[in-house]
Amino acid sequence: MKLHFQSSPNITVATNTFINVPVVLKYEDTPLIEVIKEHGIGFTTQIPIYHSDGTYLAKVKGNRVYPTEAGRKANIEIRDTPGKFICSLENKVMFELSHGVGEAFKAVAELYAPDGYFVKCSDAPKPELFDLTGNAIKVGGVTMIGNVFQNLSVGIWLRKDGSCAIGVR
């Protein structure tokens, strides 16, 4: 008999590392970046992609993008190019998933919450709850650079009233 131990992956968001944190980013009751255990492959990430009107368009699981039924009805386009998946709607890129070496991948997206709020953005129109620019996470007046969050239930928990909890056990 062999025992295999596999730990949760380290997730880095704008120089901030989340270790053994199953939900890295949550908006109200909806996980927006989470770590899941997938039978046969171990741990991976899962990210829902919503339209600004709240329509659930696609799910990113690991290094693959899967359209939902609503996404297919909205004519979401998922292109599998060498080393990258590109997800777009109405000729606007919503999500890019680049494959790295081995299991590594990098995601770039405009994330909306189910009720239409922008959760991650670089130059989004208001209302803006969460900003990810360059090497920092900015939540309200707090800028987080190079932090390590470990053994938590939720890394960053945002609420539509503008409040935020960081490092929830």
- Is 27 inside any structural domain? yes
**pLDDT of 70 strictly over 90:** yes
- 2 domain residue, yes or no: no
Q: What is the pLDDT of residues 76-105, one digit of tens each?
A: 999 988 888 888 888 888 777 776 665 666
Q: Which domain holds residue 78?
A: 11-168
Which pairs count as long-range contacts for 55-63, CB under 8 Å and 24+ apart, including other chains?
A: 56/114, 57/87, 57/89, 57/94, 58/87, 58/95, 60/95, 60/97, 60/107, 61/36, 62/38, 62/105, 63/97, 63/99, 63/103, 63/105
Could you tell me if residue 38 is inside a domain?
A: yes
Percentage of the chain modeled with pLDDT above 90: 23
36-68 pLDDT, tens per residue?
A: 988 777 888 898 989 888 899 999 888 788 999
Calculate mean pLDDT across residues 9-20. Answer: 84
Across all residues in the chain, what is the average pLDDT?
Answer: 79
